Amino acid sequence: MIEPFTVAFNPVAIKLGPLQIHWYGLMYLGGFLGAWLVAEYRRQRGRLPVSRDALGDLAFYVMMGVIIGGRIWYMLFYADIHWIWTDPLALFRVWDGGMSFHGGLLGVLTAGLWWSRRNKMHFFDTVDFVAPLVPIGLGLGRLGNFINGELWGKPGTVPWAMIFPNAKSADVDWATTHPQWQAALAQFGGLPRHPSQLYEMLLEGVVMFSVLFLVSLKPRPRYLISGLFALMYGCFRFGVEFVRVPDPQLGYLAWGWLTMGQIQSLPLVLIGVVLVVMSRNAPTMRLYNVSLPTKE
């Protein structure tokens, strides 16, 4: 067997004295910047009848929704719940790690609802506008996970399997309970694993962005873009979870394969189907002339 690639990147991208800028932080920054550029491109083509300042407000609210919603959801569903009465300040220590997509999504929806009411926009017109922007941050976030060597996949024999040094303890445990992997562990010093972060970067980032952006190039019925987003993410995340190692503090929740990520993704699949069906009888949002006065 050819020696697998070892994922051993320096998580620090830039170091200026005591100041350290991590790749993961740059991925977040790149996600927000990329989303803003695509949003402004779409606004200028009449996809949203608001000014640039109003779009800036939406971007700010969405950014806060991602951070606040993602952190709260992670602490409620993935962390030891005892933090509430033993260490409540843990909620604010974002630098310790721990963000949840599903919580971030709820944060984005809450921010979109608030902004839509202030700008007298239909909520789903706003969501349909935002949906193609989200995969940019999703894809870059998964790339950040890969660079950090975290959220790795299960041991596998695919030609592109990789070794994650941070998984050394998990490798030993796996080889102990699965003796057929002991030879690989002895040979490579680690077990070749599915790079599930790259699977998610490709599916949740590249594929979802390409599909949603191309579909939204023409005016579409209300609910369609949002429905496609929910349906694709739910299916992609549910599928990748089969080769991704679940969070160690949770493990498998049922039948030796069901994970928290899968449980939280199933409602998205259902919601996506409902929204796509609703779009069949929904009005199509028209293009707006951005040279005319727009809503502030």
pTM for the predicted model, two decimal places: 0.89
pLDDT of residue 220: 93
pLDDT in the model for residue 289: 66
Give the model's pLDDT for residue 97. Answer: 66
Tens of pLDDT along the chain (296 residues) come to 678 999 999 988 888 888 888 888 899 899 999 999 999 999 998 888 888 999 999 999 999 998 899 889 888 888 778 888 888 888 877 666 677 888 889 999 999 999 999 999 999 999 999 999 999 999 999 999 999 999 899 999 999 999 999 999 999 999 999 999 999 999 999 999 999 999 999 999 999 999 999 999 999 999 999 999 999 999 999 999 999 998 777 788 888 879 988 999 999 999 999 999 999 999 988 777 665 455 54
The whole-number pLDDT of residue 95 equals: 62
What is the pLDDT at residue 199?
98
DSSP string, the chain: -PPPEE----SEEEEETTEEEEHHHHHHHHHHHHHHHHHHHHHHTTSS-B-HHHHHHHHHHHHHHHHHHHHHHHHHHTS-TTHHHH-GGGGG-GGG----HHHHHHHHHHHHHHHHHHTT--HHHHHHHHGGGHHHHHHHHHHHHHHHT-S-B-B--STT-EE-GGGHHHHHHHHHH-GGGHHHHHHHSS-EE--HHHHHIIIIIIIHHHHHHHHTTS--BTTHHHHHHHHHHHHHHHHHTTTBPPPTTT---BTTTB-HHHHHHHHHHHHHHHHHHHHTTSPBPPP--TTS--B-
